[in-house]
Protein backbone atom coordinates (compact mmCIF):
# COMPACT_ATOMS: atom_id res chain seq x y z
CA UNK A 1 0.00 0.00 0.00
CA UNK A 2 1.40 3.46 -0.89
CA UNK A 3 2.58 5.70 1.94
CA UNK A 4 0.33 8.52 3.12
CA UNK A 5 0.84 12.20 2.41
CA UNK A 6 -1.41 13.19 5.31
CA UNK A 7 0.57 13.94 8.45
CA UNK A 8 3.64 15.14 6.54
CA UNK A 9 4.75 18.78 6.52
CA UNK A 10 6.20 20.78 3.60
CA UNK A 11 8.06 24.04 4.20
CA UNK A 12 8.10 26.32 1.19
CA UNK A 13 11.02 28.81 1.19
CA UNK A 14 11.14 31.58 -1.45
CA UNK A 15 14.91 32.10 -1.39
CA UNK A 16 18.07 30.12 -0.72
CA UNK A 17 18.66 32.21 2.41
CA UNK A 18 15.22 31.29 3.77
CA UNK A 19 15.76 27.63 2.91
CA UNK A 20 19.07 27.52 4.78
CA UNK A 21 17.56 29.24 7.84
CA UNK A 22 14.71 26.75 7.87
CA UNK A 23 17.19 23.87 7.67
CA UNK A 24 19.10 25.34 10.63
CA UNK A 25 16.14 26.37 12.81
CA UNK A 26 13.31 24.04 11.93
CA UNK A 27 15.15 20.80 11.14
CA UNK A 28 15.51 18.00 10.70
CA UNK A 29 14.08 18.63 7.23
CA UNK A 30 14.43 16.52 4.11
CA UNK A 31 15.21 18.59 1.01
CA UNK A 32 12.74 17.95 -1.81
CA UNK A 33 13.84 18.84 -5.34
CA UNK A 34 12.05 17.24 -8.32
CA UNK A 35 10.71 14.53 -5.98
CA UNK A 36 11.21 11.74 -8.53
CA UNK A 37 13.19 9.61 -6.06
CA UNK A 38 11.28 10.70 -2.95
CA UNK A 39 7.96 9.92 -4.58
CA UNK A 40 9.05 6.36 -5.37
CA UNK A 41 9.86 5.88 -1.68
CA UNK A 42 6.46 7.35 -0.72
CA UNK A 43 4.73 5.03 -3.14
CA UNK A 44 6.54 1.98 -1.72
CA UNK A 45 5.72 3.16 1.81
CA UNK A 46 9.43 3.29 2.69
CA UNK A 47 9.58 7.08 3.11
CA UNK A 48 10.12 7.49 6.85
CA UNK A 49 10.72 11.25 6.87
CA UNK A 50 7.78 13.49 7.72
CA UNK A 51 9.11 17.04 7.32
CA UNK A 52 10.24 18.34 3.94
CA UNK A 53 11.82 21.47 2.47
CA UNK A 54 10.61 22.36 -1.02
CA UNK A 55 13.51 23.54 -3.20
CA UNK A 56 11.51 23.73 -6.44
CA UNK A 57 11.02 27.52 -6.38
CA UNK A 58 14.70 28.29 -5.82
CA UNK A 59 15.47 29.55 -9.33
CA UNK A 60 18.92 30.74 -8.21
CA UNK A 61 19.95 27.09 -7.92
CA UNK A 62 18.89 26.34 -11.50
CA UNK A 63 21.52 28.37 -13.35
CA UNK A 64 24.20 26.82 -15.53
CA UNK A 65 27.04 29.29 -16.08
CA UNK A 66 30.78 29.79 -16.41
CA UNK A 67 32.59 31.33 -13.44
CA UNK A 68 36.14 31.89 -14.50
CA UNK A 69 37.37 28.54 -15.77
CA UNK A 70 34.69 26.52 -14.00
CA UNK A 71 31.38 25.34 -15.36
CA UNK A 72 28.90 25.71 -12.49
CA UNK A 73 25.73 23.66 -12.74
CA UNK A 74 23.09 24.57 -10.16
CA UNK A 75 21.77 21.70 -8.08
CA UNK A 76 18.21 22.42 -9.20
CA UNK A 77 19.08 22.22 -12.91
CA UNK A 78 16.86 19.47 -14.23
CA UNK A 79 18.15 16.77 -16.55
CA UNK A 80 16.28 18.58 -19.34
CA UNK A 81 18.11 21.82 -18.45
CA UNK A 82 21.40 19.93 -18.56
CA UNK A 83 20.68 18.30 -21.92
CA UNK A 84 19.58 21.63 -23.44
CA UNK A 85 22.47 23.69 -22.12
CA UNK A 86 24.94 24.65 -24.91
CA UNK A 87 27.58 25.15 -22.19
CA UNK A 88 27.16 21.61 -20.90
CA UNK A 89 27.07 20.15 -24.39
CA UNK A 90 30.26 21.96 -25.34
CA UNK A 91 32.23 21.56 -22.12
CA UNK A 92 31.07 18.20 -20.81
CA UNK A 93 29.10 16.29 -23.45
CA UNK A 94 29.27 13.11 -21.35
CA UNK A 95 27.04 14.84 -18.74
CA UNK A 96 24.47 15.78 -21.38
CA UNK A 97 24.61 12.17 -22.59
CA UNK A 98 24.02 10.83 -19.05
CA UNK A 99 21.11 13.19 -18.32
CA UNK A 100 19.53 12.30 -21.67
CA UNK A 101 19.36 8.66 -20.54
CA UNK A 102 17.79 9.31 -17.13
CA UNK A 103 14.26 7.87 -17.19
CA UNK A 104 11.95 9.40 -19.79
CA UNK A 105 10.91 12.96 -20.64
CA UNK A 106 8.73 13.41 -17.54
CA UNK A 107 11.52 12.30 -15.19
CA UNK A 108 14.05 14.51 -17.01
CA UNK A 109 11.72 17.51 -16.66
CA UNK A 110 11.45 17.09 -12.87
CA UNK A 111 14.55 15.19 -11.77
CA UNK A 112 17.53 17.38 -10.89
CA UNK A 113 21.28 16.98 -10.93
CA UNK A 114 21.42 17.78 -7.20
CA UNK A 115 18.79 15.12 -6.50
CA UNK A 116 20.72 12.53 -8.49
CA UNK A 117 23.87 13.29 -6.49
CA UNK A 118 22.23 13.55 -3.06
CA UNK A 119 20.14 10.42 -3.54
CA UNK A 120 23.47 8.58 -3.67
CA UNK A 121 22.17 5.56 -5.56
CA UNK A 122 25.02 3.41 -6.91
CA UNK A 123 23.05 3.47 -10.19
CA UNK A 124 22.76 7.27 -10.44
CA UNK A 125 23.69 7.92 -14.06
CA UNK A 126 25.42 11.27 -13.63
CA UNK A 127 27.69 10.08 -10.82
CA UNK A 128 30.37 8.29 -12.91
CA UNK A 129 30.45 11.35 -15.16
CA UNK A 130 31.10 13.70 -12.25
CA UNK A 131 33.73 11.31 -10.89
CA UNK A 132 35.50 11.15 -14.26
CA UNK A 133 35.28 14.94 -14.61
CA UNK A 134 37.05 15.60 -11.28
CA UNK A 135 34.01 17.66 -10.30
CA UNK A 136 33.52 19.44 -6.98
CA UNK A 137 30.28 19.41 -4.96
CA UNK A 138 29.37 22.79 -3.46
CA UNK A 139 27.58 22.53 -0.10
CA UNK A 140 26.01 25.56 1.55
CA UNK A 141 24.61 26.21 5.02
CA UNK A 142 23.98 29.37 7.03
CA UNK A 143 27.55 28.93 8.30
CA UNK A 144 29.00 29.26 4.79
CA UNK A 145 30.02 27.27 1.76
CA UNK A 146 32.40 24.35 1.50
CA UNK A 147 33.65 22.50 -1.51
CA UNK A 148 34.12 18.73 -1.52
CA UNK A 149 35.90 16.82 -4.25
CA UNK A 150 33.38 14.49 -5.86
CA UNK A 151 35.70 11.53 -5.14
CA UNK A 152 35.37 12.31 -1.40
CA UNK A 153 31.62 12.99 -1.34
CA UNK A 154 30.38 9.41 -0.83
CA UNK A 155 31.39 7.57 2.32
CA UNK A 156 29.50 4.29 1.74
CA UNK A 157 26.25 2.86 0.43
CA UNK A 158 23.84 5.80 0.15
CA UNK A 159 25.97 7.78 2.58
CA UNK A 160 27.55 11.17 1.90
CA UNK A 161 29.48 13.84 3.77
CA UNK A 162 26.54 16.29 3.51
CA UNK A 163 25.46 17.57 6.94
CA UNK A 164 21.73 17.87 7.72
CA UNK A 165 21.99 21.69 7.75
CA UNK A 166 23.55 21.80 4.28
CA UNK A 167 22.15 21.84 0.78
CA UNK A 168 23.98 20.85 -2.34
CA UNK A 169 23.86 24.15 -4.19
CA UNK A 170 25.92 23.41 -7.30
CA UNK A 171 28.57 21.30 -8.95
CA UNK A 172 31.75 22.80 -10.37
CA UNK A 173 33.42 21.22 -13.36
CA UNK A 174 36.94 22.18 -14.49
CA UNK A 175 38.04 22.60 -18.09
CA UNK A 176 38.26 19.16 -19.68
CA UNK A 177 40.18 18.46 -22.86
CA UNK A 178 40.23 15.46 -25.14
CA UNK A 179 37.72 12.70 -25.62
CA UNK A 180 34.84 11.92 -23.25
CA UNK A 181 32.50 8.97 -23.25
CA UNK A 182 29.37 7.89 -21.38
CA UNK A 183 27.93 4.39 -21.76
CA UNK A 184 25.00 2.86 -19.91
CA UNK A 185 24.21 -0.83 -20.22
CA UNK A 186 20.88 -2.05 -18.92
CA UNK A 187 18.14 -4.48 -19.79
CA UNK A 188 16.68 -2.07 -22.34
CA UNK A 189 17.94 1.05 -24.10
CA UNK A 190 15.55 3.28 -22.14
CA UNK A 191 13.72 3.36 -18.82
CA UNK A 192 15.88 0.68 -17.23
CA UNK A 193 18.15 0.82 -14.21
CA UNK A 194 21.66 0.18 -15.40
CA UNK A 195 23.72 -2.95 -14.85
CA UNK A 196 26.96 -1.11 -15.64
CA UNK A 197 27.60 2.56 -16.38
CA UNK A 198 30.97 3.88 -17.46
CA UNK A 199 32.16 7.44 -17.91
CA UNK A 200 35.67 7.96 -19.19
CA UNK A 201 37.93 10.63 -20.60
CA UNK A 202 41.36 10.80 -22.17
CA UNK A 203 43.46 13.91 -22.46
CA UNK A 204 46.70 13.32 -24.38
CA UNK A 205 49.91 14.56 -22.76
CA UNK A 206 51.09 18.04 -23.86
CA UNK A 207 54.71 19.04 -23.54
CA UNK A 208 55.75 18.11 -20.01
CA UNK A 209 52.11 17.60 -18.90
CA UNK A 210 51.32 13.87 -18.68
CA UNK A 211 48.27 12.26 -20.28
CA UNK A 212 45.12 12.24 -18.14
CA UNK A 213 42.91 9.16 -18.06
CA UNK A 214 39.75 8.93 -15.97
CA UNK A 215 37.54 5.84 -15.81
CA UNK A 216 34.56 5.65 -13.44
CA UNK A 217 31.93 2.96 -13.09
CA UNK A 218 28.43 3.04 -11.64
CA UNK A 219 26.12 0.17 -10.64
CA UNK A 220 29.02 -2.18 -9.87
CA UNK A 221 29.69 -1.33 -6.20
CA UNK A 222 27.96 0.34 -3.22
CA UNK A 223 29.16 3.73 -4.52
CA UNK A 224 30.48 5.04 -7.79
CA UNK A 225 34.09 3.86 -8.23
CA UNK A 226 37.11 5.10 -10.15
CA UNK A 227 39.42 2.48 -11.65
CA UNK A 228 42.50 4.41 -10.53
CA UNK A 229 45.11 1.69 -11.18
CA UNK A 230 43.75 1.10 -14.67
CA UNK A 231 43.80 4.86 -15.27
CA UNK A 232 47.45 5.05 -14.21
CA UNK A 233 48.38 2.07 -16.41
CA UNK A 234 46.89 3.67 -19.51
CA UNK A 235 48.23 7.13 -18.69
CA UNK A 236 51.72 5.61 -18.42
CA UNK A 237 51.42 4.36 -21.99
CA UNK A 238 50.96 0.62 -21.35
CA UNK A 239 49.01 -1.46 -23.85
CA UNK A 240 45.26 -1.92 -23.56
CA UNK A 241 45.69 -5.64 -22.76
CA UNK A 242 47.82 -4.77 -19.75
CA UNK A 243 45.20 -2.25 -18.59
CA UNK A 244 42.42 -4.80 -19.00
CA UNK A 245 44.38 -7.17 -16.75
CA UNK A 246 44.70 -4.42 -14.15
CA UNK A 247 40.97 -3.65 -14.42
CA UNK A 248 40.16 -7.34 -13.85
CA UNK A 249 42.28 -7.24 -10.67
CA UNK A 250 41.05 -3.96 -9.23
CA UNK A 251 37.37 -4.35 -10.04
CA UNK A 252 35.26 -6.51 -7.76
CA UNK A 253 31.72 -6.03 -9.03
CA UNK A 254 28.63 -6.90 -7.00
CA UNK A 255 26.23 -9.76 -7.71
CA UNK A 256 22.64 -8.59 -7.32
CA UNK A 257 19.11 -8.86 -8.63
CA UNK A 258 19.97 -6.86 -11.75
CA UNK A 259 23.09 -8.73 -12.83
CA UNK A 260 25.92 -11.08 -11.93
CA UNK A 261 29.44 -10.03 -11.03
CA UNK A 262 30.77 -12.02 -14.01
CA UNK A 263 28.52 -10.17 -16.48
CA UNK A 264 29.44 -6.81 -14.99
CA UNK A 265 33.13 -7.65 -15.20
CA UNK A 266 32.86 -8.55 -18.89
CA UNK A 267 30.76 -5.53 -19.77
CA UNK A 268 33.12 -3.20 -17.94
CA UNK A 269 36.08 -4.63 -19.89
CA UNK A 270 34.18 -4.29 -23.19
CA UNK A 271 33.23 -0.69 -22.44
CA UNK A 272 36.81 0.19 -21.60
CA UNK A 273 38.03 -1.53 -24.75
CA UNK A 274 35.56 0.38 -26.94
CA UNK A 275 36.44 3.68 -25.29
CA UNK A 276 40.17 3.20 -25.59
CA UNK A 277 40.10 2.03 -29.21
CA UNK A 278 37.89 4.98 -30.16
CA UNK A 279 39.77 7.64 -28.22
CA UNK A 280 41.68 9.05 -31.21
CA UNK A 281 38.65 9.08 -33.55
C1 LIG B 1 10.51 6.18 -13.52
C2 LIG B 1 11.85 6.62 -13.00
C3 LIG B 1 12.99 6.44 -13.80
C4 LIG B 1 14.23 6.85 -13.34
N5 LIG B 1 15.32 6.62 -14.15
C6 LIG B 1 16.55 6.99 -13.73
C7 LIG B 1 17.68 6.73 -14.55
O8 LIG B 1 17.59 6.21 -15.66
N9 LIG B 1 18.90 7.12 -14.08
C10 LIG B 1 19.06 7.73 -12.86
O11 LIG B 1 20.17 8.08 -12.48
N12 LIG B 1 17.99 7.97 -12.06
C13 LIG B 1 16.74 7.61 -12.46
N14 LIG B 1 15.66 7.84 -11.66
C15 LIG B 1 15.88 8.45 -10.34
C16 LIG B 1 15.66 10.00 -10.27
O17 LIG B 1 14.81 10.47 -11.29
C18 LIG B 1 16.98 10.78 -10.35
O19 LIG B 1 17.85 10.33 -9.33
C20 LIG B 1 16.77 12.30 -10.18
O21 LIG B 1 17.91 12.99 -10.64
C22 LIG B 1 16.46 12.69 -8.74
O23 LIG B 1 16.29 14.09 -8.70
P24 LIG B 1 15.08 14.76 -7.91
O25 LIG B 1 15.26 16.23 -8.06
O26 LIG B 1 13.78 14.22 -8.37
O27 LIG B 1 15.38 14.28 -6.44
P28 LIG B 1 14.38 14.15 -5.11
O29 LIG B 1 13.51 12.96 -5.35
O30 LIG B 1 13.69 15.45 -4.95
O31 LIG B 1 15.44 13.95 -4.02
C32 LIG B 1 16.27 12.79 -3.99
C33 LIG B 1 17.15 12.83 -2.74
O34 LIG B 1 18.06 13.89 -2.81
C35 LIG B 1 17.89 14.83 -1.74
N36 LIG B 1 18.11 16.15 -2.33
C37 LIG B 1 17.58 16.62 -3.49
N38 LIG B 1 18.10 17.80 -3.81
C39 LIG B 1 19.00 18.11 -2.84
C40 LIG B 1 19.87 19.22 -2.62
N41 LIG B 1 19.97 20.25 -3.48
N42 LIG B 1 20.66 19.20 -1.52
C43 LIG B 1 20.61 18.17 -0.65
N44 LIG B 1 19.80 17.09 -0.81
C45 LIG B 1 19.00 17.06 -1.90
C46 LIG B 1 16.50 14.58 -1.22
O47 LIG B 1 16.38 14.91 0.15
C48 LIG B 1 16.36 13.08 -1.45
O49 LIG B 1 17.00 12.37 -0.42
C50 LIG B 1 14.37 7.46 -12.08
C51 LIG B 1 13.24 7.67 -11.28
C52 LIG B 1 12.00 7.26 -11.73
C53 LIG B 1 10.79 7.49 -10.87
pLDDT in tens, 131-169: 999 999 999 999 999 999 999 999 999 999 999 999 999
For residue 113, the CA-to-ligand 1 centroid distance in Å is 8
Q: The pTM is what?
A: 0.95
Per-residue CA distances from 3 to 7, 44, 142 (Å): 11, 7, 32
- In the predicted structure, residue 192 carries a pLDDT above the cut 70: no
C-alpha closest to that of 247 among 183, 192, 200? 200
Residue having the nearest C-alpha atom to atom 47 of ligand 1 = 31
Question: Backbone dihedral region of 63: left (phi > 0), alpha (psi from -120 to 50 degrees) or beta?
Answer: beta
Ligand 1 pocket test, candidate residues 23, 31, 161, most atoms within 8 A of CB: 31
Question: Which stretch, 117-121, 192-196, 207-211, 260-264, has highest mean pLDDT?
Answer: 117-121
Give the ranges where the chain is alpha helix by DSSP (H): 16-25, 36-43, 79-84, 86-91, 93-100, 105-110, 113-119, 126-132, 228-235, 240-250, 261-277
CB of 112 sitting under 6 A from ligand 1: yes
Ligand 1 atom at minimal distance to the Cα of residue 192 = 8
Report whether 10 contacts 32 (CB < 8 A). yes
pLDDT value, residue 190: 61
Strands 154-156 and 159-160, how do they pair?
A: antiparallel
SS3 category, 193: coil
Instruction: Verify whether ligand 1 is closer than 6 Å to residue 108 (CB atom).
Output: no
Q: Is 32 in the pocket of ligand 1 (CB under 6 A)?
A: yes
- Residue 35 near ligand 1, beta carbon < 6 Å: yes
CA of 115 to the centre of ligand 1 (A): 4
Is 32 within 8 Å of 22 (Cβ atoms)?
A: no
More confident residue, 187 or 50: 50
Q: pLDDT, tens digit, for every residue of 24-76?
A: 999 899 999 999 999 988 888 888 888 999 999 999 999 999 999 999 999 99
Q: Are strands 30-32 and 136-141 parallel, antiparallel or unpaired?
A: unpaired
Q: Is the CB of 165 under 6 A from ligand 1?
A: no
Ligand 1 centroid, distance to 236 Cα (angstroms): 37
* CA 55 – ligand 1 centroid, Å: 13
Cβ(40) – ligand 1 distance below 6 Å:
yes
Instruction: Please tell me the distance from the alpha carbon of residue 89 to that of residue 109, in angstroms, as a whole number.
Output: 17
> Can you tell me whether residue 162 is helix, strand or coil?
coil
Across the range 4-11, mean pLDDT stands at 86
Contacts of 125 (CB under 8 A, 6+ apart): 98, 99, 101, 102, 116, 184, 194, 197, 218
Instruction: Determine whether the shortest distance from the Cβ of 170 to ligand 1 is under 6 A.
Output: no
Beta carbon of 82 within 6 Å of any ligand 1 atom: no
Amino acid sequence: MPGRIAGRTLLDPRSLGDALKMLRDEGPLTPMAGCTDLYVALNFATLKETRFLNLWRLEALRTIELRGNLLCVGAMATHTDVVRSPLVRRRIPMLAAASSEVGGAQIQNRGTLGGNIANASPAGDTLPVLAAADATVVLTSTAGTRRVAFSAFYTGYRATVRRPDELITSVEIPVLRGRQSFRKVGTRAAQAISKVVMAARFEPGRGSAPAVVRIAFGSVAPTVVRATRTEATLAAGHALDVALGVLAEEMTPIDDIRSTALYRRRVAANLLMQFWKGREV
